[in-house]
Structure 1
Amino acid sequence: MSTEQPDGQDPRTSRMTAAERSAEITAAARALALEDGLTALTQRGVAERAGVAPSLVAHYQPSMEALIAETFRSIAHDEIVEVFGHVALQRDPVIALRVLIVTLLDGGRDDVDLVWTDAFSMARRFPALGEEARRQTQIWHDRFTAMLHRVAVDAPLSEEAADRIASQFLGMLDGLNAHAAIGHIAGRVNVDLIARALEPELGLPAGSLSG
């Protein structure tokens, strides 16, 4: 006797527990966001990626706004863990900052950059996403501020100066990545632009952050 389900679904997947099914849908949303951006996260889009009916996505994720915000949070969190994992391997604070800049701007993280760009553009329509984007941005700001205090060589940075430079860096980073998303300047050019802006602020010789 055939075990095929009426909808043609693999019988093995039909026996998933509620937790497994929810995790499957969450994973599908994450993979889809990294491939096509947050704008691709619709019930139908996630359902197609997970290989289930849209009604099943609606059952396990009744709020697409919440799913979009959580997908962004997951991707942004993992980015911070990964990036600062590389940075932590460097004992020299200047080299650590150089690694951070190159990692974020060498064009190798286009999938995550697109997710961030979408988050900024969608935040007005999705308040939960906007709140999460602000929270993740603040985490980046705090991490970068701590790095700046270790790098400055002329004199200790004041909290006000570190805060200002961190805001400048994040603004340039997000702007340059948004430009790169439409094909306007990317890779090493952006690394040099950021490096040249930060070096005089931190009393570093030219080329210290881009060499």
Structure 2
Amino acid sequence: MLSRAAPKRVRKTPEARRAEIVAAASALALTEGLECVTLRRVADELAVRPGLISHYFPAVEDLVAEAFGAAATAELDDLIPADRPAGSPLEHLARFFVLTTGAGYDGVSRLWLNAWHLSRYRPALRERVDRQETLWRERLAGLVRDGVEAGVFQARDPDVTARRILVVLDGLGSHANTDRSDRPPEVTHLAVVIAERELDLPEGSLVARVTAAHVPRPARDEGAPCAR
């Protein structure tokens, strides 16, 4: 009987291996927190030796920053794609608010809260947080600017409008770890109301769109807190 040769192992390219490491770290950041992104924990997730992770990220702080950046960028690409598909600026803005309302967005809110806190002590993460804040603001301001050019929105300064909307969303997101069962709709949709005023939209028109289209995304499963 002929023996069957063992399958040949395919060595991953450095680019593919690095992307795999960042993806695993990003998933940990979202589900368990940035504190859980360690060389050993990511190695365990990928069933490799910690030395392989340190080969690509000698400083764990760089991996933490990369994990946050990857997770935050992926979420932004879902909320406001860089290359938006067909649809009016108003439709895209309504979709943005649909997706940022409810428990499905809580995981990202927790990630940002986590990053803001840790960035006080971690320069690499602080630099990445600053970069991500700019990216989110520019992406939303670009959507507002397109709406102004199309005659759908009115805004003297799209950048300022984007900042005001994001400040309200951040404020609402700061309660992601608390019970919000008694939160009235007027508070849940506060950022939408602010957008209506900033963009000179008819009162209640954007809120009505968001409410009618709202299908909450399922919340991400969160693992147990990692061992400190």
Superposition TM-score tier, normalisation by shorter sequence: 0.7 to 0.9
Matched residue, 2:191: 194
> What is the identity, as a one-letter code, of the residue corresponding to 1:173?
L
Given the alignment, which residue of 189, 195, 200 partners 1:203? 200
Tell whether 2:97 aligns with 1:128: no
Change (3 A) 1:198 1:169: same
RMSD: 3.2
Where does residue 101 of structure 2 map in the other structure? 105
Query: Retained in 2: the 8 A contact 1:105–1:177?
Result: no
1:66–1:128: 8 Å Cα contact kept in structure 2? yes
The within-5 A match list for 1:57-136 is 57-85=53-81, 88-89=84-85, 91-136=87-132
CA–CA separation in structure 2 for the residues paired with 1:54 and 1:29? 13
Contact 2:196 2:202 in 1 (8 A): yes
Using the alignment, how far apart are the partners of 1:29 and 1:150 within structure 2? 35
Q: Is 1:146 aligned to 2:142, yes or no?
A: yes
Number of positions where the alignment pairs a residue of Structure 1 with one of Structure 2: 199
Contact 2:154 2:198 survives alignment (8 Å):
no
- Which amino acid is 2:54 matched to? A
| Partner amino acid, structure 1, of 2:28 | L
Aligned counterparts of 2:159 and 2:19: Cα–Cα separation in 1: 38
Any idea what SS the aligned residue of 1:52 has? coil
- Partner SS for 1:74: helix
Which residue of structure 2 lines up, in the alignment, with residue 179 of structure 1?
175
How much has 1:75 moved relative to structure 2?
1.5
* Equivalent residue number for residue 158 of structure 1: 156
The letter of the residue matching 2:140 is F
Moved more, 21-30 or 167-176: 21-30
Instruction: Give distance in 1, aligned partners of 2:46 and 2:120.
Output: 28
Q: Which amino acid aligns with 2:121?
A: R
- Which residues of structure 1 form unaligned runs of 5+? 1-10
Q: Which residue of 2 aligns with 1:6?
A: none
Which SS does the other structure have where 2:141 is aligned? helix
Q: TM-score, normalised by structure 1?
A: 0.77
1:108 positional shift: 1.6
Take 2:66 and 2:145, find their aligned partners in 1: how far apart are those partners?
32
Once the two structures are TM-superposed, the CA of residue 28 in structure 1 deviates from its matched residue by 2.1
- Distance in 1 between the 2:141 and 2:56 partners? 39
Matched residue type, 2:205: S
Hey, what's the Cα distance between the residues in 2 that align with 1:155 and 1:52?
52
Report the secondary structure of 2:100's partner residue.
Answer: helix
Secondary structure of 2:202's counterpart equals coil
Change (3 A) 1:188 1:76: farther
| Whole-angstrom CA distance in 2 between matches of 1:129 and 1:44 | 19
